[in-house]
Amino acid sequence: MAENAIEVEKLARRYGRRWALGGVTFNVPAGAVMMIAGRNGSGKSTLLRVLSTAIRADAGSARIGGFVISRERNERDDIRRISALLSHYSYLYESLSARENLDVLTGFTNRAAIDGVLERVGLASRAHDAVNTFSAGMRKRLSFARVLLQQPQIAMLDEPFGQLDPEGFSLVEEVVAELKARGATVLIATHQIDRVERFADVHIALEAGRIVA
């Protein structure tokens, strides 16, 4: 991976007539933890969704792990191969069990790794239960299991502390430390500024889709 894992230049995204991102520019060094702070509606989630290729930018450019964000499917596939997004939306299969959700992700090829990540996030005892029986906190834990299973070079975590109890807060911090120890770059969009700034290497703050600090 290049010296900068992420390079963003005048990136913009519009919803109707409102600019959710108004042309942001920043770099994230490879292996760094970056905190993205801002109030609701400031553009944090939109930024992560654009960088993960979940949605497209309307203007500007970005490189993720050396790959250029573009409208070309092969470029999007390259970025998705090296990155993982923990979103507000769980994208879980409600009628499937926790294990089956992870089986789908791996193509039913890595049972040992699945057992390991379910144990890591505290869901081993609920591995065979349907997701539609899970609390919001358990769903968030399963989403973390999915991120760990992907072993991403770049992890993007959108409000990772949401729906979690204090034990879950510790899990988030441990997972981020593990990702960084592997050499991964981690972006954290959060309201939990006091908690994250203790271990973040780079900070930015968004307001109305623009970087203000």
**What CATH number did the domain enclosing 82 receive?**
3.40.50.300
pLDDT digits (tens, 9 = 90+) for 72-88: 777 889 999 999 999 98
- Count up the domains in the chain and report the number: 1
pLDDT digits (tens, 9 = 90+) for 139-171: 999 999 999 999 999 999 999 999 999 999 999
CB 22 within 8 A of CB 209: yes
Find all residues with CB under 8 Å of 197, minimum gap 6, and list them.
Answer: 35, 203
pLDDT digits (tens, 9 = 90+) for 197-206: 999 999 999 9
Tokens of 116: 């390991």
200: left (phi over 0), alpha (psi -120 to 50) or beta: beta
Query: Residue 125 carries which DSSP code?
Result: G
Where in the sequence is the domain holding 180, given as residue range(s)? 4-211
pTM score above 0.95: no
